[in-house]
Structure 1
């Protein structure tokens, strides 16, 4: 089976690798807890405020006030004693009046009016007692979240089809139509109802964005020749969004969402390179992972002659770009913006923030009279870390604008895009990505004549600029207490002693069930400190090295992790604005013989609070600045998920008393051939927690509260 979360594209000679293959994570596997831990179910929540009631905001947490959760391989969600977790919103749940309850047997339809699949990044948008936007109310709001992908094997999204679906080409149109609708974004109204949280099925704010929803381009690439298609001859419109991973909340109150591994959904036949007769454009397709002749992820292009299927064939088939979808591939890979408070607005694709495998977007705390600054990662092996600095200066009046998407136009359509270079001495530089950069102007792999070229082919521009290749940059997060920026680097199986550097210093051997795993198996988290967010230089260190507790502390377990806080493959990372806690989520395949994936809480320090570490790398030595060692007082495990699940997406109410966490693809290692035998499913969550019908596993949002009504983590 081809893993379309693995991408092979960065062959540039930039610092760190001599060969970079297959990039992107393996959204995976899972955990549970020990004695005394609380288990997720449909239990009522205690200590909840009534609907419409504002509660006092929490203050910064100086110590973690919960018992660490133990490793677990059970098929459940485990949280600490004194906490309750409730399943709130699962794949297939109705989002409109009249939509029938989800049967979860593969016969359900109306997916455009149901929760999508693979819940991922998630954000809270508050509502007051009158249903108006509120930055302070904590008992009513809307949750806006990504539906990244689907659990698949041999082309088919098998859990949503009655018999598992069709695993050969051509695929039936009816199956593809379901799959086109389970991707994208959903908005759902939620509220506290006494001791429980509930969704409102008939809320006028409920909404689905799918692969077919109309979208508009803004920024430098809007209207460029690169975006011309049969659907939009002027290059100003697109349809839908796909493979949305992380999210972010803008300072003006909208959702931003990253299109990540869209490349796998497209197809070009083996003769397409020759038909294009344009080596530089072929180079660009290859750099973005779409090689001629390679199969697509689901075979959507095989569904028939209708436009909704043929758009996934991004080869040259007509006389010009206005007659085919040769450029459809270029219409994905952006940060998209959505106003969750206004269901009558279109999705907006912000091209100024670049085109790559976007995870989330995190914003520096805005300062009046200073630019708005956003940080982003490109999640693939050997890819880069980016920053966008707006041309416009922040006006605090825009925190509550009349037109939220107009504020997005103001701050996200014009500015400077940068990529990071890490120096061995613990300093770094933000390299400008524009044709004004001499290295980009002189690049021979592509002709960068305009900023539109840079925004559509950002990876190539970053190659030319000389950025540092990293071990799969995923989520970014900004510490609200000191402005430092944290970036998760999930893992890299291709890291070798010959390619280590100061920012990616480990290449080691780890054992899983007796079998060797090599590279940077467990990943790490790097952090940056800037004098101001708009600065072109930074200081950096490695905040945390992922590791098993019993690994060698001189070479692998450099953060001194214990059984209370060891982890593998950090992925999601979000700072609580209420408490300052840094929440770290894992998407792990290396440690899953001992525990399922997890959520940890950390009390972060600051860049420079540790020491330099020197590691042997074959005949070489690599020195790196490392943060202070961790203890269970500063980092501890808060949650372990069900089997096969990734823990991803996290947000909270403003008072810090409700934490929403997404559990993605439980049971993903189930085999399609076993679709008729629930006993063979890797997971039956959340039905085994008392939620919903059927036994097929579902992605879902859970809400966690403290039984005494207190602040989460305190």
Structure 2
């Protein structure tokens, strides 16, 4: 008799008599539910076989969660992708990636997380799994697929316009971050912008130009190269708009007022300023521990082969090893070890040299001064040399701008500033992470009107290489090849300027010759080789220091190719090809018969009713190093794009077939997106900025984005040029494939500005751009632009150069 009968009731099987290990029906059901995965948007049901729960078994529990992982989807690299899942009766949700290139899911425990589509070279599937857990701990999962295609331009072109705002595509927003005069040091007052402000050594300078973002750790002041929410913006302040800087413009008179001159001097140079993102908005941090201004008065060291040369000796540095200040800083460069390279461009125009000075100099010295534009009788921009300082200890700040020989001083130049100009025209290395570091002028990279110094990708075991333009009409294109092989460990060094000593103080400087065959040669500027000797008839070179101090003369005698204002260069991070903007030229500098294959056009593009002969719209040339090796001594070249209005002659002027979505003039700034995000991988984005005078009767200056092809993707072309009086001449050249829709206008700036300076955060989701000298043709009594105030709809305030922040509304990578 069973004990169950003692109760007087039927047990209904509550007692267990089967002691085997076989599973129960409830366990079978639970096992089936936990393993079940339905694909392609099918709904996961709560039970099997349509059974309902009853009695005291597991079937008494509520139904399991019901989920839907969403339909399969598709996107392209760099765009924001949203997973659209849903669930009922779920206590928790979790998304995980189960296949494809790894991505970071935002809020992976929500029904609809997002991620940035990764960079891919071909169509690639990503698989994600949505798992729901109900209140009983039971789980159910479902997978979905997202197909990712290679990156493509993802915005509609901005129309040409002459508005007084920064115009960007739909789906993007603009904010103003850092304006001329903004205080960056603690205790400096807010900027009044009425011409009465002082202490520009503690404020943002004027004419924002080349710029780079250096990441900071979330706390403290240490480097984090991957940070996209906190960092240092380091930027050049090339020049000033004096008419707005003072209450009523510069005070007239034979001698400048000291206070006005100090303001103008300090408004030049470089800013280092901390910036942070919070809640999606970027701000700069006044009083940041690493904030500083580097001005024409900041002490510096001369470094490299020219250090200590007799031509660099002054009353300040009698041994030729020290310098004070940097000026007319235009473009820039960065290093793999985390330093910033600022480049001195049109520095020569600031110096005074009195009439009759030639008589007190050697013939060789006169040749060198004239070659750099320091002719006798030059007054010097801004006339700073005329200031008499109230405190004699400050007189050097003004006297150093007078290079005239003082015959009462030592003949070696140690008693005056006759050699001061030779201390300018260099690439200057700055450590942004050390506010107490002394910048170093790297003489191995040559002395010229340096536009910038752009590195080839750093590869372990290969020599670092930097490309440099000399921005004047008829000047040359250069590169520096370090003597030292790159060691990846040096990227993390904390003494960054010591690493600069290692790679930037020894190497070979080359200048480019572009041949009519579509090939080119890098000519080494090495003393004692070829014509670079003391026997040279044009200029008797004494040593390597002499070659570097007088780089332009050395390039002349080597037979380098004269170019149409070689400005910014950029190196494609994916394939190493080098792009160079040739901003423009005119007939007075290069006549109809002065073209060459690399600078092939001569035509008329009138501004209003005024003829404008030469190459007023400029072009972009590119080269591919032999063997795809930056250290190579030869290369292949072609012309990527010719600037032109869409309405100009398609056969001989608008050779690149530009239309209303992408026509441009006078390319200047040039930059490839960072390789740390989809914008700089596979087919990287090329950004083109303009500084124009030929097309400003139609539109304000602009910025375009492109996805260029490769050198050699076009072919040979012969064009017919025109000159005054109907004269014609033909010129053969090499033209790349027409860019078409792979080149698009992304931004148009406010009135009378130049677009210059660009970088992104490492994730590519924040774009920094500089707007330089808006309203530059106006005065304090006749303001011709109200930007940046006009960006927010007001018309009060003098115009100010400023840094803007551009973000995509959906948070994706800019331009994709």
TM-score by length of 1: 0.89
Q: Which string of whole-angstrom CA distances, capped at 9 and with x for unpartnered residues, describes residues 659-709 of structure 1?
A: 000000000011x4xx13xxx311011122249996111000001000011
Residue from 199, 203, 210 that aligns with 1:121: 210
Say whether 1:498 aligns with 2:498: no
Shift of 1:193: 1.4
Residue from 250, 255, 258 that aligns with 1:170: 255
C-alpha RMSD of the superposition: 1.6
Query: Contact conserved, 2:307 with 2:321, CA < 8 A, in 1?
Result: yes
Distance 1:343 1:74 in 2: 40
Distance 2:517 2:343 in 1: 32
Say whether 1:138 aligns with 2:243: no
Tell me which residue corresponds to 2:652. 555
Counterpart mapping for 1:380-459 below 5 A: 380-441=472-533, 442-459=535-552
Tell me which residue corresponds to 2:119. 59
Query: Contact conserved, 1:57 with 1:656, CA < 8 A, in 2?
Result: no
Shift of 1:450: 1.1
Return 5+ residue gaps in structure 1 as ranges: 1-48, 152-156
After superposition, the Cα gap between the structure-2 partners of 1:182 and 1:513, relative to the gap in structure 1 and judged at 3 Å, is: same
Shift of 1:542: 0.5
Say whether 1:291 aligns with 2:375: yes
Tell me which residue corresponds to 1:250. 335
Shift of 1:195: 2.5
SS at match of 2:531: helix
Distance 1:527 1:287 in 2: 27
Query: Contact conserved, 1:688 with 1:695, CA < 8 A, in 2?
Result: no
Tell me which residue corresponds to 2:693. 589
Query: Contact conserved, 1:57 with 1:655, CA < 8 A, in 2?
Result: no
Distance 2:155 2:236 in 1: 29
How many equivalent pairs are there? Answer: 649
Tell me which residue corresponds to 1:565. 662
Distance 2:647 2:536 in 1: 47
Tell me which residue corresponds to 2:616. 521
Larger radius of gyration: 2
Say whether 1:467 aligns with 2:560: yes
Distance 1:294 1:225 in 2: 24
Query: Contact conserved, 2:472 with 2:565, CA < 8 A, in 1?
Result: yes
Distance 1:458 1:138 in 2: 39
Tell me which residue corresponds to 1:224. 309
Shift of 1:57: 9.3
Tell me which residue corresponds to 1:331. 423
Q: Which moved more, 1:440-449 or 1:278-287?
A: 440-449
TM-score by length of 2: 0.78
Tell me which residue corresponds to 2:448. 356
Distance 1:139 1:71 in 2: 32
Say whether 1:370 aligns with 2:471: no
Q: Which string of whole-angstrom CA distances, capped at 9 and with x for unpartnered residues, describes residues 103-162 of structure 1?
A: 0000011110000000000001001212321121101100000000011xxxxx121111
Say whether 1:535 aligns with 2:635: no
SS at match of 1:284: helix
Counterpart mapping for 1:174-189 below 5 A: 174-189=259-274
SS at match of 2:259: helix
Query: Contact conserved, 2:351 with 2:378, CA < 8 A, in 1?
Result: no
Distance 1:621 1:699 in 2: 42
Say whether 1:667 aligns with 2:751: no
Tell me which residue corresponds to 1:656. 764
SS at match of 2:585: coil
Query: Contact conserved, 1:112 with 1:210, CA < 8 A, in 2?
Result: yes
SS at match of 1:309: helix
Query: Contact conserved, 1:105 with 1:694, CA < 8 A, in 2?
Result: no
Distance 1:163 1:691 in 2: 26
Return 5+ residue gaps in structure 2 as ranges: 1-105, 108-114, 121-149, 390-394, 722-726
Q: Which has the higher contact order (CA 8 A, sep 6+)?
A: 1
After superposition, the Cα gap between the structure-2 partners of 1:692 and 1:215, relative to the gap in structure 1 and judged at 3 Å, is: farther
Shift of 1:56: 6.9
Distance 1:389 1:541 in 2: 23
Tell me which residue corresponds to 1:19. none
